[in-house]
Amino acid sequence: MAVPTTQKQYRLVRTGTQGPFKLDLVNAPVRQPGPNEVLVKVHAASLNRRDIFVLRGAYPIGPRESLVPLSDGAGEVVAIGPSVTRFRVGDRVAAIFFQRWLSGRPSPDFLSSALGGQLDGMLSQYVTLNEAGLVALPPHLSYEEGATLPCAGVTAWNGLFTRGNLQRGDTVLLEGTGGVSSFGLLFAVAAGAKVIITSSHDEKLERARALGAFGTINYKKTPDWEAPVRELTGGLGVNEILEVGGKDTLPHALKSLAVGGHIALIGGLGGFGGDIPVMGLLGTGSTASGIYVGSRANFEAMNAFIEQHRVKPVVDRVIPFAEAKSAYELMESDAFFGKIVISMDR
């Protein structure tokens, strides 16, 4: 494949180093790979709620005037630099969220290696990355499906399995039907767990049931939704919670937790914050974990599970590259289920 010297890419740009960005489509050079680097032709990228915070200038990425957005993308290796051993031309790959968090505990500098934040991200026709910052895609997934995995998929995986130790027969509580929760639903059902999911839209709850949820709750109609959660679990509460709502949902989630349960603290859709009742956790042997995506090893373990169980990510919409701004608008509207993907091939 002939590799061009220039490409189209989106950049977030602003005047100065503070405040909101605007999204611009620009011409940019294609950087050829150096030692231990590979050049990837990006076929698809996907959005996360984090990308809206970045656009607004409300996410801690350090002082900078421009940035290629989006952490999540998948594509094909089209060139390799000297000393590359992990990949060959033609391999199908996805980028990992933290380029320098490969396994084990994160190193002190892992935060500075986040794509679409501290580092330029994936909303570009080509990216040049260190081979260590990529994983092979599960063979049964398309590029569009593979592009959904790096942030939401790994986050749900770590919340349920790495930190949560999900077991067959456990009960899982999921909040909303966005990326993390949709992956949590797919993973939990594949693992033989029972899922309760909340949403403010009955039609989204119906879709969740079709994907295997056994209990659904409209939190607009039932603001104190911990009560039906307890009813659905025979008064015991749930073993695992993916807590993505933040300060508004945390009190209800904690009241839904079973003795010995685990709550994964992930997001702040309703605002970050909230109080963790230390004595409550001590008295019930429960645990709370802060989840910030995960490592390459976590990603690869998740991919093995996805391949074993033939999991297919939930893609709500695939939007052409030229219309990327509408993907941001859709994400802000909350009128979607699962993941929003941008295709460079459309």
Do the two domains 6-150+312-343 and 164-290 of this chain adopt the same fold? no
Quick: pLDDT tens for 99-119.
999 999 998 889 999 999 999
- Residue 295 pLDDT > 80: yes
The per-residue pLDDT for 247 is 77
CATH class of 6-150+312-343: alpha beta
Q: What is the 3-state secondary structure (H, E, C) of the chain?
A: CCCCCEEEEEEEECCCCCCCCEEEEEEEECCCCCCCEEEEEEEEEECCHHHHHHHCCCCCCCCCCEECCCCEEEEEEEEECCCCCCCCCCCEEEECCECCCCCCCCCCCHHHHEECCCECCCCECEEEEEHHHEEECCCCCCHHHHCCHHHHHHHHHHHHHHCCCCCCCCEEEEECCCHHHHHHHHHHHHCCCEEEEEECCHHHHHHHHHCCCCEEEECCCCCCCHHHHHHHCCCCCEEEEEECCCCCCHHHHHHCEEEEEEEEECCCCCCCCCCCCHHHHHHHCCEEEECCCCCHHHHHHHHHHHHHHCCCCCEEEEEEHHHHHHHHHHHHHCCCCCEEEEECCC
Query: Which CATH architecture describes the domain 164-290?
Result: 3-Layer(aba) Sandwich (3.40)
Q: What is the pLDDT of residues 195-216, one digit of tens each?
A: 999 999 999 999 999 999 999 9
Domain parsing of the chain, residue ranges? 6-150+312-343, 164-290
Mean pLDDT of the chain: 95
Q: What is the pLDDT of residue 269?
A: 64
pLDDT digits (tens, 9 = 90+) for 244-270: 987 789 999 999 999 999 999 997 666
